[in-house]
Amino acid sequence: MRLLHTMLRVGNLDRALMFYTDILGMRLLRQKDYPDGRFTLAFVGYQDEADGAVLELTHNWDTENYDLGNGYGHIAIEVEDAYDACARIKAKGGHVVREAGPMKHGSTVIAFVEDPDGYKIELIQRGTRAD
């Protein structure tokens, strides 16, 4: 078995694709409209689906936003330099909600950014994880 993808519902597919591709540097791997169901699926990631897990962005044509609830946590992405990643994300118009720095109760360097739909993405600096 292997993890294939994580699905996120997005209110505006173009805005979400711009964030994940232009700001976070993922690639659009495939996209398909389902007119009878009134939804579109777009798969994005850093590698091909055969090589690792990706994100499925689901856009239901008649829904502009979602209540994220309190059960969802975040997606984690490993980066070379969390400080530099935050600077690049901000320069491209991304929203950093927790600047890069060590965890409160540890030495792992992390940061958090937020996508246009409010989903949190944790950036973890390579080589600093203590666990």
Domain of residue 45, CATH code:
3.10.180.10
* Helix, strand and coil in the chain, % to nearest 5: 15, 40, 45
Q: Are residues 56 and 11 in the same domain?
A: yes
pLDDT in tens, 19-28: 999 999 999 9
Q: Is residue 96 part of a domain?
A: yes
Residue 81 lies in a domain: yes
Residues 80 and 54 in one domain: no
Predicted confidence at residue 131, as pLDDT, reads 58
- Please give the Cα distance from 18 to 81 (Å, whole number): 22
Which pLDDT score, from 0 to 100, does residue 7 have? 96
Count how many domains the chain has. Answer: 2
Interval 11-48: pLDDT, tens: 999 999 999 999 999 999 999 999 999 999 999 999 99
Per-residue pLDDT tens listing for the chain (131 residues): 889 999 999 999 999 999 999 999 999 999 999 999 999 999 999 999 999 999 999 999 999 999 988 888 999 999 999 999 999 999 999 999 999 999 988 889 999 999 999 999 999 999 887 65
Q: What is the pTM of this model?
A: 0.90
- 113 belongs to a structural domain: yes
Same domain, 36 and 82: no
Q: So which residues are the catalytic ones?
A: 122
Instruction: Give the domain range for residue 111.
Output: 75-125
What's the burial of 88, exposed, middle or buried (CB within 10 Å: 0-12/13-18/19+)?
Answer: middle
Q: What are the structure tokens assigned to 9, written together?
A: 């519902």
Query: Looking at the domain assignment, is residue 109 inside a domain?
Result: yes
Q: Bridge partners of 27? A: 45
